[in-house]
């Protein structure tokens, strides 16, 4: 416990010790309590220090006599506090504080359980925050979850996590551990209604038997509508009713059927932009976006690249232990994964089938088409001189935009000078087209 006021902190410790609510001693995510009687700069210094550890969660507890403006409370949250409570000393706050800590511990336990059942590889701050958010929404609410983000970032994996948590013992959501998935992007428009709602025998040509749709199969389970942004506008109204009322009719039928499911939707599209373009219904968006979770791109969780690569490698080698040598490790860390985790998995599969022997994965195991070109090999920079130049620029009031522009223009000027004003060679060295370089010269931004 970290406190700005020793007497105040002692009072809170005593109240928690006397509370009937038991606080578990071990947390997967460490926690702290910052007690304060004055919202001053030392308080913010403590919270900013907290933010240096992305795994640490902190409650800020203020004396009830302290007048804290609403804007100040939001500032405390932005500074690093997970919540702000006011302490009057009447005992109720101790129970509230203990309950919040208990919630964190329960989420910690669920994270550990889920990791053993779902391949949640990685412990980067970005990925860890997403997992905790998904677990808390799945465990303590019934709201629909909308998973957004680039393709290949693990949205289906998170949907599987939700189905596991919803079926875990002790939860309020009584669903079986089953995930029913509809790939909305591959639906045939003429048969999409049958895919969702099923059909009666004879409803259309080829409907020789009655068929259950996804809403019937998902009764009592978790339903994933993958790539929901691809659903035709005409079908969205029917989908809205089924999601909202939990009732539907089979195609060709007249009887309303009932269903109860936990809804998860996923998309790599910007649905809000689609709403503005008239391509996605606003009422459907609000119905599915109860909890919006954006999955981070692999470039935003680089700490997870090697653990993921080792996991995929072990799978490819049937559990045999193997490792990447330093050259391959550096290559994997600096590779551009436009396809995110899915691309990393495919890359490791291509590398694994070339590997022979008990030794580590070496550069020769990387297929020719995947190897970096000579211009992409790593150069040991920035060096101390470069950092001093940036420090001087910042000290003289230069903003980031100005620094980036100046650095780019300097690199171009040096490359052109080194190649004797041969723009084609200079462009190749810079990794841009000679036309782009010519356009810079024409616009007056290039001075030799």
Q: Which of 275, 294, 313 is the last residue of a domain?
A: 294
Q: Count structural domains, the chain.
A: 4
Domain that holds residue 340: 299-376
**Tens of pLDDT along 385-426?**
777 788 778 877 788 888 888 888 888 888 888 777 788 878
Q: What is the average pLDDT score of the chain? A: 83
Confidence class for position 362, pLDDT limits 50, 70, 90: very high
pLDDT of 195 over the 90 cut: no
CA dist., res. 210 & res. 253, Å (int):
10
Q: What is the CATH number of the domain that holds 75?
A: 3.40.50.2300
pLDDT of 445 over the 80 cut: no
Query: Higher confidence at residue 257 or residue 42?
Result: 257
Contacts of 281 (CB under 8 A, 6+ apart): 233, 236, 237, 240, 275
Would you state the pLDDT for residue 183? 93
Cβ–Cβ under 8 Å, residues 327 and 363: yes
Looking at the fold, whether 179 and 264 belong to one and the same domain comes out as yes
Question: What pTM was estimated for this model as a whole?
Answer: 0.76
Residues 170 and 274 in one domain: yes
- 233: three-class secondary structure by DSSP: helix
| CA neighbours closer than 13 Å in the CB half-sphere of residue 206 | 3
- In the predicted structure, residue 222 carries a pLDDT above the cut 80: yes
CATH of the domain at 420: 1.10.10
Domain end, chosen from 294, 325, 357, is at 294
Find the DSSP H helices in 145-202.
155-166, 192-197
pLDDT tens for residues 74-130? 888 888 888 888 877 666 777 788 888 888 888 888 888 877 778 789 888 889 889
């Amino acid at each position: 416990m970290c406190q700005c006021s020793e007497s105040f902190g002692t009072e809170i410790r005593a109240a928690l010790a006397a509370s009937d609510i038991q606080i578990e001693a071990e947390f997967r995510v460490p926690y702290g309590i910052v007690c304060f009687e004055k919202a001053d700069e030392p308080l913010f210094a403590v919270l900013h220090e907290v933010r240096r550890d992305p795994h640490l969660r902190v409650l800020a507890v203020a004396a009830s006599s302290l007048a804290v403006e609403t804007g100040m409370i939001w500032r405390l949250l932005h500074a690093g506090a997970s919540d702000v409570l006011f302490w009057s000393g009447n005992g109720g706050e101790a129970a509230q504080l203990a309950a919040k800590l208990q919630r964190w511990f329960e989420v910690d336990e669920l994270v550990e359980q889920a990791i053993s059942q779902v391949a949640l590889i990685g412990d980067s701050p970005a990925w860890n925050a997403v997992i905790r958010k998904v677990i808390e929404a799945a465990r303590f609410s019934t709201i629909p979850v909308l998973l957004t983000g680039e393709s290949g970032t693990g949205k289906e994996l998170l949907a599987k996590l939700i189905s596991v948590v919803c079926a875990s013992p002790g939860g309020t959501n009584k669903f079986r551990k089953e995930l029913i998935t509809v790939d909305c992007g591959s639906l045939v428009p003429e048969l999409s209604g049958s895919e969702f709602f099923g059909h009666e025998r004879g409803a259309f040509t080829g409907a020789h038997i009655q068929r259950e749709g996804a809403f019937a199969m998902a009764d009592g389970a978790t339903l994933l509508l993958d790539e929901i942004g691809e659903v035709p506008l005409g079908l969205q109204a029917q989908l809205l009713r089924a999601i909202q009322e939990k009732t539907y009719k089979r195609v060709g039928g007249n009887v309303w059927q009932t269903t109860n499911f936990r809804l998860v939707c996923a998309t790599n599209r910007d649905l809000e932009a689609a709403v503005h373009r008239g391509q996605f219904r606003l009422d459907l968006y609000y119905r599915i976006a109860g909890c919006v979770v954006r999955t981070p791109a692999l470039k935003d969780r680089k700490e997870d690249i090697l653990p993921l690569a080792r996991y995929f490698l072990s799978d490819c080698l049937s559990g045999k232990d193997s490792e990447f040598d330093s050259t391959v490790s550096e290559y994997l860390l600096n590779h551009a994964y436009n396809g995110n985790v899915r691309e990393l998995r495919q890359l490791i599969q291509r590398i694994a089938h070339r590997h022979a022997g008990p030794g580590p994965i070496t550069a020769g195991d990387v297929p020719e088409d995947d190897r970096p070109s000579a211009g992409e090999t790593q150069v040991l920079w920035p060096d101390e001189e470069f950092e001093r130049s940036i420090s001087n620029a910042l000290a003289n009031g230069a903003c980031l935009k100005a620094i980036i522009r100046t650095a780019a223009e300097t690199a171009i000027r040096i490359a052109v000078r080194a190649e004797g004003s041969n723009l084609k060679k200079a462009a190749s060295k810079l990794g841009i087209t000679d036309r782009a370089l010519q356009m810079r010269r024409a616009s007056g931004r290039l001075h030799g």
